Amino acid sequence: MKNIQSKVALVTGASMGIGAAVSKELARQGCKLALVARGREGLEKIAGEIRAAGGQAQVFPCDMGDAEAVARTVAAVEEAMGPIAILVNNAGAGTFKPLSEMSLKEAMLTVNLPFGAAIAACHAVVPSMISRREGQIVNLTSPASYMPLPYMVPYTSSRHAMMGLSLSLREELERHGIGVSLVCPAKVDTGYFERNDADFGWYPRLANWFPVLQPEQVAVEVVRAIRGNYREHIFPFSLRWAMRVFQKAPYLNLVVLKALGFFRPARQTKSDPIKDYDA
């Protein structure tokens, strides 16, 4: 979607981090922002910053884990602001630890956010986009979409599902003139790990190969993906290169990464001795 001036853009998880940065960047590019997240206070803060910079924004508090609430929110946005041209699925939550140490609530939360929320949001906006033959959907994900990461099984499963949603929906909607982009940054400095009891120590050590990004950097790349209708956008280049190499021979690469210790988490689990990750 090359022309995004005056288009209505709905961003989920917009009260902080990547969602807030994407909202501000889209506003700078001339979009009218519908800011969606659970907490009104955080949304009002971001909306105020957008308005102070000369942009347009309205807030729509919503529990993105409630599919019916998502549908109602999308309807409210379109009634108040007009047809949604851009949807950015960014809402996410979850904890990192062995599945055996998670509660069922913790495990299911990570599936519902982001995947359940993204399905509900897409389901709500797609009919209108098809009727207008216009729209761009962006699904934010992480490197967990590409690799079978242990000690974050629900999170990894949900991120794999985000990839499936994005790539298959793109094939379905392309003939209607609607674009779908999967955007995958490296680790981003958003405070996610502190807010979600997500200990980065459970990530494999290879995560340290890649630079930590700022939300504003991600926002610029999201807008680039929208304007260019990218199928996938993995960045920085070092991460894109690593993910493509892994996809060429995933089993062989797993063997090599384990042998070199790069697939080992930075901490030892209670249930599995660290030597299990030695070749």
The CA-to-CA distance between both ends of the chain, in Å, stands at 47
pLDDT over threshold 80, residue 138:
yes
Look at residue 173 and tell me if it is in a domain: yes
Look at residue 257 and tell me if it is in a domain: no
Virtual torsion, Cα 237, 92, 32, 132, nearest 10 deg: 90
Look at residue 2 and tell me if it is in a domain: no
Share of the chain above pLDDT 90, in %: 81
User: pLDDT for 23-70, tens place per residue?
Assistant: 999 999 999 999 999 999 999 999 999 999 999 999 999 999 999 999
**Cβ pair 84, 148 in contact under 8 A:** no
Active-site annotation holder among 155, 192, 203, 277: 155
Is 151 one of the catalytic residues?
no
Rounded CA-CA distance 225/55 in Å is 21
Look at residue 253 and tell me if it is in a domain: no
pLDDT attached to residue 198: 61
pLDDT attached to residue 195: 61
pLDDT attached to residue 263: 87
pLDDT over threshold 50, residue 117:
yes
- Write out the residue range of the structural domain in which residue 13 sits: 8-246
Look at residue 151 and tell me if it is in a domain: yes
pLDDT over threshold 70, residue 88:
yes
Look at residue 43 and tell me if it is in a domain: yes
Mean pLDDT rounded to a whole number for the chain = 92
Q: Write the CATH number for 214.
A: 3.40.50.720
The count of domains in the chain is: 1
Look at residue 271 and tell me if it is in a domain: no
Look at residue 181 and tell me if it is in a domain: yes
Strand order in the sheet with 232-235: 56-61, 32-37, 8-12, 84-89, 136-140, 179-185, 232-235
